[in-house]
Structure 1
Amino acid sequence: MAGLDEHGDEGRPAGRRSRLLKTAGLTLAALLVLGAGAAGWVYWQLDDNITGVDINSALGDDRPPRALVTPSAGASASPLPSGALNILVLGSDSRDGAENRELGGGEGGSARSDTAMVVHLDAGRTAATVVSIPRDTLVTRPSCPLESGGESAETYGAMFNSAYTVGGPVCAVKTVETLTGVRMDHYLEIDFSGFADLVDALGGVTVTTEEDIDDDQSHLRLDAGTHHLDGEQALGLVRTRHGIGDGSDLGRIELQHTLVKALLERISALGLLTDVARLYDVADAVTGSLTTDTGLDSLGELIELGRSLHGLSADDVTTVTMPVVPAPSDRNRVVADEPEAGELWESLR
């Protein structure tokens, strides 16, 4: 064939061709090793971001029973989890770090649970119920183990969000379980800066408000209508209470439910699994400000939970608020409205 001889392709000496092929092979091998190393480094970095708290060991056996899981017939050897699950999700107003303080975390002192939601995943993971607990709810705060040793005293008529201040995630979980009689299988907490970073990593979120918002404390001003919010504005929305309705926590919870649905729609629309760069940004934003129980404190465990929810859409999620009435002792506070509240929690067991 023209241009070819015994020396190799296009007259190139066979030895030189061999050296070039060897060099190319070594280069490819090096790139593969570097790529695998980079992927390992990224996984390690994201995994190392997560803070874990051993809630199960701290609380022991004095807790509501776990939900019974019935294996489905014909399940594969290693199926994704599909049983019912209850997760306590807290948004904390942490004072740690300049960014949190700039976003309204305040100066000094302990963090509080600014937002509290019990997320119930139905068996099969095809539907979910999100139940918000108003932070102004007066509850019985049980005796909780303290990081410094010993235990806090049981307190009647305590503000719900004081549990986190007193005993962190452990006391928050124990207080919710005492209030609801429902076992919290997992715990997730994200702070102000982490939430804002998450929304920014998603490219913002679109919400529709039914009334004008003008709240000096959350620093949010919006006309009624549809808006595309960045992270700081979205954080302002979930913290707004004085600029809407009667200024109570109940109006603020309605805005939070609106944003939950909007975030689910945004995540579904993005197709994160096909956008590696954005997936990394989102994962970095979430894990960098995330505290979980030790059952979810690795990237692998979080990924498995996320994969088990792949069929869940915003339309499959119901958002409600624990039924409450004004507290007899303080009209600015609320207490659980029984028997309605008890019936709601019973449906999640």
Structure 2
Amino acid sequence: MPDAISSSAHTADRSAAVRFRRALTLTAMTLVMPGSAQVVAGNRRVGRLAIRVWLTVIALAVAAVIVYLFSRATLFTLLTDGWVMRPLRLLLIVGAVAWAGLLIDAWRLGAPHDLRRGHRAVVAGLNGALCIGVAATMILASQTVSAQQKLIGSVTGSGAASKAAEGTAADGRYNVLLLGGDSGKGRVGLRPDSINVASIDAETGRTVLVGLPRNLQNVPFPEGTVMHEQFPDGFSCETDCYLNGVNTWANDHADLFDTKHPGMDATVEAVEETTGLDIGYYAIINMNGFANLVDALGGVTLDVKERTAIGGIGAPVTGYIKEGRRHLTGRQVTWYARSRVDNDDYSRMGRQKCIMTEMLGQLSPQKVLTKLDAIADSAESFFETSIPQGDVGAFLDLALKARKEKVSSVSIVPPQVNTSDPDFDKVRRMVQQAVAKSEGTYSSNGVRNATLSPLAKPKITVEGADPRKDPRRANQSDDLEKAC
């Protein structure tokens, strides 16, 4: 009799173990291939439908990987297109609910009422955790898509996709005008005190930053334009007719222009004629909102070359950013970019270039994705660009290329250029040579078969200071990372 009881108990244990393994297997099958548990032990029609959907998702994922390997820009363009993002967001939400429902059904098919109490608790806990995990992951992905859609929609231009989306550009380069300034109380519109052109090689992403001082005088305009008719000998008047005043003058005389954005169009024309570069796009950064972006990204680490004042532009100095390698908040980065107390505009230009270079290197795609909601919330208040939404994919691809390449810099500043009486032929030659060096086509005999004599690189010297700690070094550099 004892042997019979022992044999019966052993059989019951083995049966309980089999039921436990079966319940776990059904849950695992649903996790790996949704619908497979239903095909084996439940509603086969539902199971087959779920498997077909899952295989379609896998096929699309494989296709995306193939496209990424052969044309990364094409994939980015698809993933930033509103017609793709909207249904994708909806599918992620529906998928989250459906997958969680299949997991719950797999738990039911595992006959939890036939399991022992301990086994039942394990299966229920595992199934519940998977339901929450799968649903939360897909809902989070849906929110990320929504934030991306909001971000792109709020800052990009409304024009149609240009040649950038097709992977081509004039002379193999994309030239983007980057403007930074302040708008707010006591100011009409945004005054662009930071003026740079990012000239990006379409193939490699190698970038040249061309810095233009705000106080550049007598800037020329292309023939046939309204501004050239008004200022045939260059932008000059009694007071404040600097490069950064072109925007204000054109907006104040909007009746002369047949355009919605006279100030911006006139500024682009001035920069094109000054540098010899064809500007395809512009981006405007409002420094008053820029701090929010930096804070959303968790701050930026910079090598502070010189003690820099916080405040002092129409307000008292409230503190200083000390020298050294420091992790700065949004407010500190903003003042590091704009302050010219105890230094000058040209020092500020160098600091601004270093900020752009460091942010390019520190903002990985993973970091941006994890902060996308915060970036989207802050972007509308500080950033605007004419880049059409259809070109965003191409520029994301360029950004990833640029992160791996050196960034070089040329600035139209003294002693190379007298900003009050500029030699614009020399200015254009400086830009040509900087671009040619970045492309590896420059030689001591000139630039791309041009009969232009090479320019000597200016020596930066500051009396009583270590030249390596002078931010102005970043204005003329073949490798901004080293200069910064």
Q: Shift in Å at residue 175 of structure 1?
A: 1.4
Report which stretch shifted further, 207-216 or 131-140: 207-216
Amino acid aligned to 1:277: T
| 1:160 lines up with 2:243 in the alignment | yes
Structure possessing the higher relative contact order (Cα contacts under 8 Å, 6 or more residues apart):
1
- List alignment gaps of at least 5 residues for structure 2: 1-13, 25-37, 48-96, 103-133, 251-261, 437-484
Q: Counterpart of 2:206? A: 127
5 Å-filtered alignment, 1:175-194, equals 175-194=270-289
- Give the superposition deviation at 1:317: 0.2
Residue 91 (structure 1) aligned with residue 168 (structure 2): no
Partner of residue 154 from structure 2, selected from 49, 64, 67: 49
Aligned residue in 2 for 1:60 = none
Percent identity between the two aligned chains: 21
**Bigger-Rg structure (1/2):** 2
Equivalent pair of 2:235/2:242 in contact (CA under 8 Å): no
Distance in 2 (CA, whole Å) between partners of 1:213 and 1:199 is: 18
Q: 2 CA distance for matches of 1:54 and 1:2?
A: 68
1:243 aligns with 2:342: yes
Q: Measured at CA, do residues 44 and 132 of structure 1 come closer, stay the same or move farther in structure 2, by a change above 3 Å?
A: same
SS at match of 1:235: helix
CA contact (8 A) 1:89 1:118 kept: yes
Residue 321 (1) aligns with residue 411 (2): yes
1:336 aligns with 2:422: yes
Q: Secondary structure of 2:371's match? A: helix
More helix by share: 2
Q: Distance in 2 between matches of 1:25 and 1:316?
A: 47
1:86, distance to aligned residue in structure 2 (A): 0.9
Q: Report deviation, 1:225.
A: 2.2
Partner SS state of residue 52, structure 1: coil
- Normalised by the length of structure 2, the TM-score is 0.51
- The residue aligned with 1:213 is 308
- The offset of 1:221, in angstroms, is 1.2
TM-score by length of 1: 0.68
The amino acid of 1:341's aligned partner reads V
User: Counterparts of 1:253-292 in structure 2 under 5 Å?
Assistant: 253-267=349-363, 271-273=364-366, 276-286=369-379, 288-292=381-385
Secondary structure of the residue that 1:234 maps to in structure 2?
helix
Partner in structure 1 of residue 388 of structure 2: 297
SS at match of 2:235: strand
- Closer/same/farther in 2, CA of residues 28 and 287 from structure 1, 3 Å limit: farther
CA offsets 1:106-152 (integer angstroms, 9 cap, x no match): 42423211211011112423411101100011133648679xxxx99
Aligned residues: 294
> Could you tell me which amino acid in structure 2 is paired with residue 222 of structure 1?
I
User: Structure 2: which amino acid aligns with 1:160?
Assistant: L
1:309 has 2:402 as partner: no
Give the Cα separation in 2 of the matches to 1:33 and 1:210.
45
C-alpha change, 1:168 and 1:284, in structure 2 (3 Å) is: farther
Q: CA RMSD in A?
A: 4.1
Shift in CA distance, 33/272, structure 1 to aligned 2, threshold 3 Å: closer
The equivalent residue for 2:453 is none
Change (3 A) 1:132 1:335: farther
Indicate if the aligned counterparts of 2:195 and 2:213 stay in contact, CA closer than 8 A.
Answer: yes
Pairing 1:170–2:256 present:
no
CA distance in 2: counterparts of 1:113 and 1:326, whole angstroms: 23
